[in-house]
């Protein structure tokens, strides 16, 4: 039994919370993020008494305010706190995991989902604990340089021009020995052109912390074609001597990335228009 299955079996669904979230979602869709009790009851399918109780609870919590003059309830700025920690990378992680597990089962080597954070890349999730060829347990949270790792190169080559320039400016201003290349526009252009030409980022020991390891990485892009995160495969460089190994790794990596992008696009498209949770749990009045 997976942890999620165990949780579902142990705890009863809190229907009031589900209805409250459905109500917040419906108000957010309305003009001026507001509505009367009657309007909200009709659009959510909830009983008027339930809507009134939920609105008053949300008002006490600071998420809703009540205009007594016209009896309209509307959202407050506090609801913005609910999405403050959400990023595109959150959804990417959710949809990527099963495809990452399949990828590692196929190639045996571990893979990671790596996201930008400032002028570095950070490992968000990894299959290293599940790979027999993993030499680095506990990778999530590890910070990686942008220009000397496959994941960083893949992201930098496929992010927006504005984001790329911001990152390069941050890198160029870093008082770090040996970062002259970060200020060399010709070097940067050649690196980006090469990455885009081959369709993936790569490194073979260029990262000082991992001289014996190499990696391939491809961007996971949104529907606009801009990179959100990178998906990489890590391996010992000495293990890539067998003919056809590189091609097999890249084929599996590209296939997994494509599946993740499709799942990401489908999930993104569903999010605003999914039926409200209250429709799945009939109102109890």
Domain extent for 107: 88-269
Tell me, what's the pLDDT at 252? 97
CATH classification of the domain holding 157: 3.30.450.40
Tell me, what's the pLDDT at 276? 44
Indicate if 46 and 151 belong to the same structural domain.
no
Indicate if 60 and 92 belong to the same structural domain.
no
What's the total number of domains in the chain? Answer: 2
Residue 172 has pLDDT above 80, yes or no: no
CATH classification of the domain holding 41: 1.10.10.10
pLDDT in tens, 29-44: 777 788 999 999 999 9
Would the pTM of this model clear 0.75, i.e. be above it? no
Indicate if 180 and 50 belong to the same structural domain.
no
Indicate if 228 and 92 belong to the same structural domain.
yes
Residue written as tokens 């990778």?
Answer: 139
Structural domain contains residue 7? no
Indicate if 174 and 153 belong to the same structural domain.
yes
Structural domain contains residue 281? no
Residue that finishes a domain, picked among 24, 54, 83: 83
């Amino acid at each position: 039994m997976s942890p999620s299955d165990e949780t579902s079996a142990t705890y009863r669904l809190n229907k009031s919370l589900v209805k409250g979230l459905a109500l917040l979602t419906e108000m957010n869709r309305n003009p001026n993020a507001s509505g009367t009790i009657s309007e909200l009851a009709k659009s959510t399918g909830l009983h008027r008494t339930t809507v009134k109780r939920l609105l008053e609870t949300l008002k006490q919590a600071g998420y809703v305010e009540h205009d007594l003059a016209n009896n309209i309830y509307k959202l407050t700025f506090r609801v913005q706190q609910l999405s403050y920690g959400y990023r595109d990378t959150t959804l990417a992680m959710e949809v990527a995991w099963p495809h990452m597990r399949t990828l590692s089962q196929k190639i045996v080597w571990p893979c990671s989902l790596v996201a930008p954070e400032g002028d570095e890349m950070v490992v968000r999730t990894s299959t290293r604990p599940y790979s027999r060829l993993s030499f680095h347990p506990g990778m999530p949270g590890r910070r990686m340089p942008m220009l000397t790792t496959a994941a960083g190169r893949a992201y930098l080559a496929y992010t927006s021009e504005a984001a790329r320039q911001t990152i390069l400016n941050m890198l160029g201003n870093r008082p770090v020995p040996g970062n002259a290349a970060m200020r060399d526009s010709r070097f940067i252009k050649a690196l980006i052109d090469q990455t885009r030409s081959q369709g993936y980022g790569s490194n073979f020991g260029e990262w000082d912390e991992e001289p014996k390891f190499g990696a391939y990485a491809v961007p996971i892009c949104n529907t606009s074609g801009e990179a959100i995160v990178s998906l990489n495969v890590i391996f010992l460089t000495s293990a890539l001597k067998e003919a056809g190994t590189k091609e097999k790794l890249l084929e599996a990596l590209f296939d997994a990335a494509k599946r993740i992008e499709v799942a990401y696009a489908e999930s993104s498209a569903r999010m605003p228009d999914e039926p409200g949770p209250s429709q799945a749990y009939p109102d109890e009045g």
